Amino acid sequence: MANLKYSRQREAIKTFLMTRKDHPTADVVYNNIRKEYPNISLGTVYRNLSLLVDIGEAIKVPTSDGAEHFDGNVMPHYHFVCTRCNSVIDLEMEDIDYINEVAAKNFLGKIEGHSTFFYGLCPECMNKADN
Ligand SMILES: [Zn+2]
Ligand SMILES: [Zn+2]
């Protein structure tokens, strides 16, 4: 995509994503970018987020809460999703790429990757549950 027009708004969206570790939804990105670009629409933010995902500069985190969460960290890593507050947290853990081989064992096609997320209670919700 060499003919992609440079967009200051897209750059601002990307910069914002890089500063966040909490995997914001399009709404959260919109509410923050709007402070800098008051005329931007949610649709524009959404289009730019999708574009960043398409060109590999952001990833969409698959979760079960129905909202799309975006991540500026495109290095392979695993996510945890809290079933109570829906927060999305990066997990520091060893690489489990061997599950591709596990999956390939009884499969005649070619496994090229996997998408895995972990779920349960985040530390904050766990503390609340204790009290
Ligand atoms: Zn939680
Ligand atoms: Zn992440």
What average pLDDT score do residues 15-31 get?
A: 95
3-state secondary structure of 38: coil
Gap from CA of 104 to ligand 2 centroid (Å): 26
Question: What protein residues have CB closer than 5 angstroms to ion ligand 2?
Answer: 71, 90
pTM of structure: 0.80
Gap from CA of 106 to ligand 2 centroid (Å): 30
3-state secondary structure of 69: strand
Question: Residue 6 pLDDT more than 90?
Answer: no
pLDDT of amino acid 3: 44
Confidence at 74, pLDDT banded by 50, 70, 90: very high
| Number of the ligand closest to the Cα of 17 | 2
Confidence at 1, pLDDT banded by 50, 70, 90: very low
Q: Which two tokens stand for residue 4?
A: 């992609």
pLDDT of amino acid 131: 60
C-alpha–C-alpha distance, residues 6 and 122, integer Å = 38
| Surface-to-core class of residue 34, CB atoms within 10 Å of its CB (0-12 exposed, 13-18 middle, 19+ buried) | middle
Confidence at 66, pLDDT banded by 50, 70, 90: confident
